[in-house]
């Protein structure tokens, strides 16, 4: 069983230690269940009361909460994250893939595979593919010709990456992700649709994570670009020639139409849709199920169908809730006016 | 060609037989096309007229419709279901997978595979996986370490199940289903997102069916739970730590956000979205494309964006349809008042 | 490097040539970047100004724009499409799959495979499948028993096709497409759901393209039908027994519920939902995220949640935007009436 001193833990978590660094910790537990020898955490001030009564030997707390626990503690930026890191130290995750290339995998001899790569069963890797060191590719993934994948990436089962696409370092692709499918483009001629060849590609930069069964189409020409630090949830649609800038986060089932650009550090909730060829700024927030049909400037909070500045949508919603009362009010006014008119006529 | 007596059919369908049990039936057909020797059905009273003119030798009817057909009949709880069961008796479905483990499948020697299991081509099964008797796993499925699958399950092609997840008995997973992908969780630090390890799992109980390309994320810690009898349609998103209670049905493309719980026997239509950390009760009904941002008590019917009690949404919708008229009405009132004011002043 | 005369290009594009057919063209470029020896294009009149200053040796223009360029030109129906065709002539796309059946593919001996077919790694093809000439099936696709696929089709990686389904000629299925999963149908009995066997199939006619991870369910009985020339984008849900008629186009993440029929040459935007058992006509247009709960006659443009004729939705939206003003207006009326009433009483 794993055992760490508080001093060792503070180094691992890059935490400030207050208390005896030689205290031995043999496990982690939630604050109300922890026993002597375990470390616990407080990420939310509402659990403050437990701080006095916990039997834990130490506690991980948030800098920003500003508590002074009556037991040894580690101060970190995010106590919940620190707790999970500690949990992993005591419960290391099982390595799911063996190092090396599974004998059932098919890797073209022209491809360059880095050191310490794991390639699972039934993986197909085409011609002139490059794969960086330490990358793990789970069973039944397919990577077509001339694709490039960086270092320390994880491709979970059944990910498919089409020809020419480029994936950076430390990218995580959850099960069933599709990178580089053809964009949806047709020229119409006499009532029929003729496919416009989609000859561009997809570029995914470093530290991106993409959720299960999400699809990112290749560009018609040029590139569909997902910049570094972007996080996409499950079942998202990213159309051809979209650009999503750094550290933007998008929740499940949202769809971004062709050639739209999204700025940095923007947050888009689930099931949002945007039209094509618009520009959404930096630090924008868009509420769930919104329908965005126009540019949104940086820093704005939008919500609704159609998407409007959130205060405007909320005001309209409040009025809608009171519409039945408004109708009654107007009926009262009509009666009063009729009565006033009658009176005026009879004068 | 198959042949059954009416008595044999009544046993197979657990139906009440009215008429001669020795009548021979050699096929099934819709009521207006059936010929002598065939059996037909009425599930909808509007087809009652055909009952007199059909050439069928017998008919399957619903208890609840309360018809008295002028030919031999079988009374069942659901005539349409009874008809389909009868169809299958006369047209048994082809067994698509051979018994046993295909030679191209890769099954780790530490895994325990039950009797009469079918495992198709290119299936990958990791370490310490347990699979119950009679379960069928179609080609190109992937099941990672320590997963458990019960008896009599069907996993259609390209289903992927991640480490540690647990699937009950008689569960059907349609093509491309993803069980146990990482939940969408990040801690923010200096404008960047840091992955919160998703160390929980997914538990799916007995008699669940999940539609094609639907995704169920594993819990951050603990479990995402789909209880027995739940039916999920295609392309649904179930986020981490969600709980869906028994016999609830959810239609295609709906998304349930993290840590939300949904009660028993609830019905959620397609393209609905819910926020996270809310509670939806038992026997709730939610209309298509609704946006649910608050708890819904048991037994309620909600609809709309935002979701409101359906009568309220319908009233608001009716008023919206008449808004142009309302605007006119207010203009008339303004004129009348102006005229009254003028008159009052001129008095 | 490739080289064509203008005369050769005009033949390839079926274009009308104005100018010297012997001019040699060695490449393509956008109008503001093109140099001597290259051909360029104008698809949009707003780039007209560049026509005078471009250094290109020739230009591709649209019939309908009606420009008279001061340099040799090719007149075509769609200049953008013509440009892309020309691009491909100069930059031929790499053949990604080798001819023949990969040794790791598993093709049942009862299946009939046409000439010049490419079948990639780890493909599984069941019993009595028929595949037409020139069709390409990428790695890790699965095709179950009795399915039929026509000539010149492309199935990208991880497509799965279930038993009995029929695909026409020149059909393109992007990565992860599911054809023929079970429809979502249950008979309820004592609060539990019992699966209705889905014994129908899917028929996809010629020249259809289907986007990544889109799902088309098989019919309960009979057929789910996608007629010739239909184009479906990514992550779409087509439920059992739907019929989509010729040359209709549907954008990403839309869902069509069971037994609904959609006419010819109709255009449906992204994230639209329709209820089941309705009929949408020919040449209909439906705006993004609309919720369609009733039949729509041919030629109509609908939009909104609920979907209404677009002019009605836009009028309601405009009024909603002005609702706060309307509330103020009514308050003013109330005051005026109170004042008139006071005056009347004091008379």
Q: Which residue among A234, A320, A330 places its CB closest to the CB of B330?
A: A330
Q: What angle do CA A176, A179, A180 make, to 5 degrees?
A: 140
Average pLDDT over residues C307-316: 96
The CATH number that applies at residue B299 is 2.160.10.10
pLDDT (tens digit per residue) in A287-296? 999 999 999 9
Number of domain units in chain B: 3
pLDDT (tens digit per residue) in A51-85? 889 999 999 998 888 788 899 999 998 888 898 88
Confidence bin at C63 (pLDDT 50/70/90): confident
What was the pLDDT predicted at C68?
Answer: 85
| Residue B347 predicted with pLDDT over 80 | no
Q: Phi and psi of C70, rounded to 5°?
A: -85, 25
Least confident of A58-62, B223-227, C326-330: C326-330
Instruction: Select which of A63, A189, A194, A240 is catalytic.
Output: A240
User: Do residues B150 and B194 both lie within one domain?
Assistant: yes
Q: What angle do CA A11, A15, A18 make, to 5 degrees?
A: 105
User: Do residues B85 and B187 both lie within one domain?
Assistant: no
- Structure tokens, C315: 């009028």
Confidence bin at A92 (pLDDT 50/70/90): confident
Touching partners of A (3+ C-beta pairs < 8 Å): B, C
Cα of C150 to nearest chain B Cα, Å: 21
User: Do residues A143 and A66 both lie within one domain?
Assistant: no
| Residue C18 predicted with pLDDT over 90 | yes
pLDDT (tens digit per residue) in A139-160? 999 999 999 999 999 999 999 9
Q: Which residue among B215, B312, B336 places its CB closest to the CB of A235?
A: B215
pLDDT (tens digit per residue) in B164-199? 999 999 999 999 999 999 999 998 877 789 999 899
Touching partners of C (3+ C-beta pairs < 8 Å): A, B
Q: What angle do CA A66, A67, A72 make, to 5 degrees?
A: 125
Structural domain range at position A339? 315-346
User: Do residues C114 and C54 both lie within one domain?
Assistant: no
Asked if A237 and C337 come within 8 Å (Cβ–Cβ), the reply is: no
User: Do residues C185 and C288 both lie within one domain?
Assistant: yes
By C-alpha distance, which of C138, C131, C143 is closest to C96? C138
- A253 has a chain C CB within 8 A of its CB: yes
Asked if A255 and C235 come within 8 Å (Cβ–Cβ), the reply is: yes
Rounded distance, CA A18 to CA A6, Å?
10
User: Do residues C328 and C204 both lie within one domain?
Assistant: no
Rounded distance, CA A135 to CA A116, Å?
7
- C335 has a chain B CB within 8 A of its CB: no
Q: Which residue among A182, A191, A305 places its CB closest to the CB of C305?
A: A305
Q: What angle do CA B157, B159, B161 make, to 5 degrees?
A: 150
Alpha-helical runs (H) found in chain C: 6-12, 50-53, 79-90, 310-321, 323-346
211-230 in chain C: CB under 8 A from chain A: 211-213, 229
Confidence bin at C1 (pLDDT 50/70/90): low
What was the pLDDT predicted at B252?
Answer: 98
What was the pLDDT predicted at B1?
Answer: 64
By C-alpha distance, which of A302, A296, A294, A293 is closest to A282? A296
Average pLDDT over residues C51-55: 90
C194 in catalytic set: no
Confidence bin at C271 (pLDDT 50/70/90): very high
Q: Phi and psi of B146, rounded to 5°?
A: 65, 10
Average pLDDT over residues C228-254: 98
CB pairs under 8 A between A and B: 185
User: Do residues B201 and B289 both lie within one domain?
Assistant: yes
Confidence bin at C175 (pLDDT 50/70/90): very high
User: Do residues C105 and C251 both lie within one domain?
Assistant: yes
Task: Name residue, tokens 């972007």.
Answer: A230
What's the Rg (C-alpha) of chain A? Answer: 28
- A99 has a chain C CB within 8 A of its CB: no
Preferred mutation among A157, A181, A206, A327 to probe B, highest tally of B CBs within 10 A: A157
Average pLDDT over residues A225-254: 98
What was the pLDDT predicted at B94?
Answer: 87
Does residue B95 form part of some domain? Answer: no
Instruction: Select which of B63, B189, B194, B240 is catalytic.
Output: B240
Asked if C84 and A196 come within 8 Å (Cβ–Cβ), the reply is: yes
pLDDT (tens digit per residue) in B126-143? 999 999 999 999 999 999
Q: Which residue among B160, B186, B188 places its CB closest to the CB of A175?
A: B160
Confidence bin at B346 (pLDDT 50/70/90): confident
Within 8 A of A60 by CB-CB distance, chain B residues are none
User: Do residues C267 and C181 both lie within one domain?
Assistant: yes
Preferred mutation among B182, B276, B309, B338 to probe A, highest tally of A CBs within 10 A: B182
User: Do residues C141 and C69 both lie within one domain?
Assistant: no
What was the pLDDT predicted at C11?
Answer: 95
Does residue A54 form part of some domain? Answer: yes
| Residue A1 predicted with pLDDT over 70 | no
User: Do residues A166 and A136 both lie within one domain?
Assistant: yes
Does residue A251 form part of some domain? Answer: yes
For residue A191, with 0-12 CB atoms within 10 Å meaning exposed, 13-18 middle and 19 or more buried, which class applies?
exposed
Preferred mutation among C160, C288, C306, C314 to probe A, highest tally of A CBs within 10 A: C288
Within 8 A of A170 by CB-CB distance, chain B residues are none
- B271 has a chain A CB within 8 A of its CB: yes
pLDDT (tens digit per residue) in B245-281? 999 999 999 999 999 999 999 999 999 999 999 999 9
| Residue B49 predicted with pLDDT over 90 | no
Within 8 A of B121 by CB-CB distance, chain C residues are 106, 122, 124
């Amino acid at each position: 069983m794993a055992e760490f001193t508080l001093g060792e833990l503070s180094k691992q978590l890059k935490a400030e230690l207050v208390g005896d660094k030689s205290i031995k910790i043999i496990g982690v537990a939630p604050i109300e269940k922890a026993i002597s020898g375990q470390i616990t955490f407080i990420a939310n001030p509402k659990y403050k009361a437990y701080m006095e009564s916990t039997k834990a030997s130490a506690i991980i707390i948030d800098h920003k909460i500003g508590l002074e626990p009556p037991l040894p503690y580690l101060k970190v930026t995010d106590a919940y994250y620190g707790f999970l890191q500690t949990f992993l130290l005591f419960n290391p995750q099982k390595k799911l893939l063996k190092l090396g290339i599974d004998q059932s995998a098919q890797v073209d001899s022209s491809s360059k595979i880095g050191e310490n790569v794991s390639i699972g069963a039934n993986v197909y890797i085409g011609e002139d593919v490059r794969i960086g060191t330490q990358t793990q590719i789970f069973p039944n993934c397919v990577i077509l010709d001339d694709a490039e994948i960086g270092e320390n990436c994880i491709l979970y089962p059944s990910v498919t990456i089409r020809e020419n696409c480029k994936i950076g370092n430390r990218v995580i692709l959850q099960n069933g992700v599709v990178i580089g499918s053809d964009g949806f483009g047709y020229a119409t001629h006499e009532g029929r649709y003729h496919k416009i060849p989609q000859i561009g590609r997809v570029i995914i930069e470093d530290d991106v994570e993409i959720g299960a069964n999400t699809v990112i189409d290749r560009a018609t020409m040029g590139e569909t670009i997902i910049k570094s630090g972007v996080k996409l949830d499950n079942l998202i649609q990213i159309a051809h020639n979209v650009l999503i800038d750094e550290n933007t986060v998008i929740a499940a089932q949202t769809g971004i139409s062709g050639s739209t650009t999204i700025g940095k550090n923007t947050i888009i909730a689930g099931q949002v849709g945007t039209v094509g060829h618009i520009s959404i700024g930096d630090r924008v927030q868009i509420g769930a199920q919104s329908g965005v049909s126009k540019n949104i400037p940086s820093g704005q909070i939008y919500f609704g169908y159609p998407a409007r500045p959130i205060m405007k949508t909320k005001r309209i919603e409040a009025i809608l809730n009171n519409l039945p009362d408004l109708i009654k009010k107007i009926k009262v006014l009509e009666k009063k006016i009729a009565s006033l008119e009658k009176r005026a006529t009879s004068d």
